[in-house]
């Protein structure tokens, strides 16, 4: 919908609009119509030849316009111009404009599509449209949808005018620039039953007091509250809503605020976004709020949970939940970011989100002692937490850096991302356990793309074999680690040999291998012969059974290679088994 604004630098537009509202149709209004018609008539005459050929109606309109233009000229040439007759002629002439032949509903649709800017600096663009002609003025001033988005200015009369033109339709009120709160409050209180939304985004010295006074008003039609004041100050605006305002509240978006303490403020919410805010309630009260918010569809909590009281002291493995998990049946978006890892793990252990399509968890551990990874974040019963673990088609797991662990899963309808970053001790305490667990977590899903970042060496051969047997639809494999090639390809071959004659991962076509192991200088045997043989044996077996790889990419980040006489390039052997080989190897010392 279009937005209504008024430039606070001058009140001339407001006075002109008030004059235009009079039912008497004063001479000043007529002069506006005359000017509008005379300014547009020349343009209409220039295009009359084109429009005349479109339809019989167009030809009639063109002929009628010509006669009206002649009549207007004759009236203007009289010594004493008959104002009433001239006015009727101008109105009739205006009706012949092609745009005014559009049905009212279509013209309204066009205006809404070309909605004016909501920026007060562009008020002239909006106000000017009222002066085009009488018909446009009548449409604009009688359509409530053009006046329901009200940007409060330093003129309280403007707010009163817009609310009166809403004709009982709920309105959205925006505080984005200069305004007088004391002059605005009485109008809002009088029309409180029309206020559908309040948005406050202006940073001024009294912003915290403004918000408290605005939200204390009884606003029975209130559906949305958005406070977005970005400040580095530790001061927060206390958001406390009256019971009338909470009755139908559906969206609460707060930045740099103190969230409501009353559980009733959250009961009917569909959207709750708290960013860089404080929430001074207990952990159990927090869970009770989630349980009571049965309509909740979007939950975004970013840097706002440090003030929770009476939280469990550690991870669920040591401090298991003392109450049954709450099922947020309608939740579609869950963002839990900038929260301690142990607290994030406890929250996830206490909820279920079966319908969530966007799950984003970003936690941190600030300790001088080793801390667990994302593996400690995952709920004990992952199947009941979210269906993504059984429907994912693309999975990325691993330790991207020594201080960063991440799990990302994507399906046709759902996206999950969990991350733990270390801010104290720079190494995770559960790398072996985590990688073994990650690789088995998604074995019930139809995974087509599997990426392991920076920790492939922590996965045992037995686990790799289980993974390859459990992912028959796997098409892409992207691995990063150190000294892991042999175990991976030995497991790939073994899974097929012991698979009862069934080739595992028959659709596997692309494999990307990156080795990050560090070997300074030139070494005589940086890539053992056994590892090379395991790689070739697996590729040879797949080629012989008609499921050869289409692309193999091998990258060594730190190892250096010295060409030896009588040795063949490794890529020569690989190219005989793989359609497309990319490698940064120069030469190897293996005899083929």
- Nearest to 369, CA basis, from 336, 341, 337: 341
Q: How far apart are CA 166 and CA 156, in angstroms?
A: 16
Residues 6 or more apart in contact with residue 159 via CB below 8 angstroms: 150, 152, 153, 173, 184, 187, 188
Q: What pLDDT does residue 19 have?
A: 43
- The model's pLDDT over 150-169, given as tens digits with 9 standing for 90+, comes to 888 777 888 888 888 888 89
Asked whether the beta carbons of 239 and 258 are under 8 A apart, the reply is yes
The average pLDDT across 119-129 equals 55
Asked whether the beta carbons of 362 and 414 are under 8 A apart, the reply is no
Residues 6 or more apart in contact with residue 89 via CB below 8 angstroms: 68, 71, 72, 75
Q: Is the per-residue pLDDT at 254 higher than 90? A: yes
- The model's pLDDT over 192-217, given as tens digits with 9 standing for 90+, comes to 999 999 999 888 888 888 998 999 99
Q: What pLDDT does residue 38 have?
A: 39
Asked whether the beta carbons of 127 and 13 are under 8 A apart, the reply is yes
The domain segmentation of the chain, as residue ranges, is 96-146, 147-310
Range of lowest pLDDT (213-217, 330-334, 337-341, 483-487): 483-487
- The model's pLDDT over 496-505, given as tens digits with 9 standing for 90+, comes to 888 676 889 9
Greater pLDDT, 521 or 174: 174
The two tokens of residue 262 are 């009353």
Q: Is the per-residue pLDDT at 113 higher than 60? A: yes
Range of lowest pLDDT (5-19, 72-86, 368-382): 5-19
The two tokens of residue 424 are 């104290």
- The model's pLDDT over 16-44, given as tens digits with 9 standing for 90+, comes to 444 434 433 333 333 333 333 333 333 33
Backbone phi, then psi, for 324, in 5-degree steps? Answer: -70, 145
Residue 409: helix, strand or coil by DSSP?
strand
Q: Is the per-residue pLDDT at 72 higher than 60? A: yes
Q: Is the per-residue pLDDT at 111 higher than 80? A: no
- The model's pLDDT over 357-405, given as tens digits with 9 standing for 90+, comes to 999 999 999 877 788 999 999 998 898 999 999 999 999 999 988 889 9
Range of lowest pLDDT (1-5, 58-62, 196-200): 1-5
Range of lowest pLDDT (258-272, 366-380, 562-576): 562-576
In this prediction, residue 57 has a pLDDT band, given cuts at 50, 70 and 90, of low
Q: Is the per-residue pLDDT at 1 higher than 50? A: no
Greater pLDDT, 305 or 67: 305
Q: State what percent of residues in the chain have pLDDT above 90.
A: 44
The average pLDDT across 264-282 equals 94
The average pLDDT across 535-559 equals 86
Q: State what percent of residues in the chain have pLDDT above 70.
A: 80
Q: What pLDDT does residue 463 have?
A: 94
In this prediction, residue 226 has a pLDDT band, given cuts at 50, 70 and 90, of very high
Q: Is the per-residue pLDDT at 410 higher than 80? A: yes
In this prediction, residue 344 has a pLDDT band, given cuts at 50, 70 and 90, of very high
Q: What pLDDT does residue 10 have?
A: 37
Looking at residue 520, what DSSP letter applies? -
In this prediction, residue 518 has a pLDDT band, given cuts at 50, 70 and 90, of low
Greater pLDDT, 189 or 132: 189
In this prediction, residue 148 has a pLDDT band, given cuts at 50, 70 and 90, of confident
Q: What pLDDT does residue 124 have?
A: 54
Q: How far is CA 516 from CA 105, 269, 398, 562, in A?
A: 66, 49, 14, 18
Determine the Cα angle at 49 with ends 47 and 54, to 5°: 95
Asked whether the beta carbons of 272 and 299 are under 8 A apart, the reply is yes
Q: What pLDDT does residue 126 have?
A: 62
The two tokens of residue 29 are 């209004």
Q: Is the per-residue pLDDT at 45 higher than 60? A: no
**Mean pLDDT of all residues belonging to the chain:** 81
The average pLDDT across 488-497 equals 91
Q: Is the per-residue pLDDT at 479 higher than 50? A: yes
């Amino acid at each position: 919908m279009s937005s209504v604004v008024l430039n606070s630098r001058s009140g001339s537009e407001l006075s002109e609009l008030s004059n235009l509202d009079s039912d008497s149709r004063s001479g000043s209004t007529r002069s506006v119509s005359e000017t509008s018609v005379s300014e547009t008539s020349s343009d209409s005459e220039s295009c009359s030849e084109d429009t005349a050929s479109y339809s019989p109606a167009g030809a009639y309109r063109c002929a009628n316009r010509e006669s009206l233009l002649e009549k207007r000229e004759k009236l203007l040439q009289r010594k004493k111009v008959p104002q009433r007759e001239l006015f009727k002629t101008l109105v009739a002439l205006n009706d012949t404009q092609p745009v005014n032949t559009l049905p009212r509903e279509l013209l309204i649709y066009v205006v809404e599509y070309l909605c004016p800017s909501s920026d007060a600096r562009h008020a002239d663009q909006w106000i000017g449209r009222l002066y085009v002609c009488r018909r446009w003025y009548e449409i604009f001033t009688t359509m409530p949808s053009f006046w329901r988005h009200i940007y409060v200015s330093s003129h309280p009369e403007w707010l009163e005018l817009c609310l009166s033109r809403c004709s009982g339709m709920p309105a959205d009120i925006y505080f984005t620039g200069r305004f007088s709160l004391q002059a605005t409050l009485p109008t809002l209180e009088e029309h409180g039953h029309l206020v559908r939304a309040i948005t406050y985004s202006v940073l001024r010295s009294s912003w915290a007091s403004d918000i408290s006074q605005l939200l204390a008003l009884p606003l029975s039609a209130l559906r949305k509250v958005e406070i977005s004041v970005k400040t580095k100050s530790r001061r927060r605006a206390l958001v406390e809503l009256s019971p009338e305002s909470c009755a139908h509240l559906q969206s609460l978006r707060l930045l740099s605020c103190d969230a409501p303490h009353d559980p009733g403020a959250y009961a009917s919410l569909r959207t709750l976004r708290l960013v860089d805010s404080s929430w001074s309630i207990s952990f159990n009260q927090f869970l009770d709020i989630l349980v009571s918010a049965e309509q909740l569809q979007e939950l975004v909590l970013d840097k706002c949970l440090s003030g929770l009281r009476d939280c469990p002291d550690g991870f669920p493995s040591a401090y298991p939940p003392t109450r049954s998990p709450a099922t947020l049946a309608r939740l579609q978006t869950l963002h839990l970011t900038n929260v301690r890892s142990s607290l994030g793990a406890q929250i996830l252990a206490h909820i279920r989100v079966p319908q969530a399509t966007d799950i984003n968890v970003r936690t941190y551990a600030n300790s001088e002692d080793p801390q667990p990874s994302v593996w400690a974040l995952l709920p004990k019963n992952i199947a009941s937490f979210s269906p993504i673990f059984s429907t994912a088609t693309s999975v990325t797991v691993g330790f991207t850096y020594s201080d960063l662990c991440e799990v990302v899963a994507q399906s046709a309808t759902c996206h999950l991302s969990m991350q733990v970053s270390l801010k104290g001790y720079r190494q995770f305490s559960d790398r072996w356990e985590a990688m073994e667990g990650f690789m088995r977590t998604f074995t019930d899903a139809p995974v087509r793309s599997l990426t392991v970042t920076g920790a492939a060496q922590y996965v045992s051969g037995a686990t790799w074999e289980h993974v390859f047997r459990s992912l028959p639809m796997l098409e892409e494999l992207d691995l990063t680690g150190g000294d892991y090639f042999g175990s991976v390809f030995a497991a790939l071959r073994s899974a097929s040999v012991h698979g009862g004659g069934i080739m595992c991962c028959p659709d596997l076509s692309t494999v990307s291998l990156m080795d990050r192991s560090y070997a300074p200088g030139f070494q005589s045997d940086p890539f053992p012969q056994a590892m090379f043989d395991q790689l070739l044996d697996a590729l040879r077996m797949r080629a012989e059974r008609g499921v050869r790889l289409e692309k193999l990419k091998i990258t060594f980040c730190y190892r250096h290679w010295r060409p030896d006489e009588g040795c063949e390039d490794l890529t020569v052997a690989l190219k005989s088994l793989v359609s497309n080989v990319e490698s940064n190897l120069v030469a190897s010392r293996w005899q083929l």
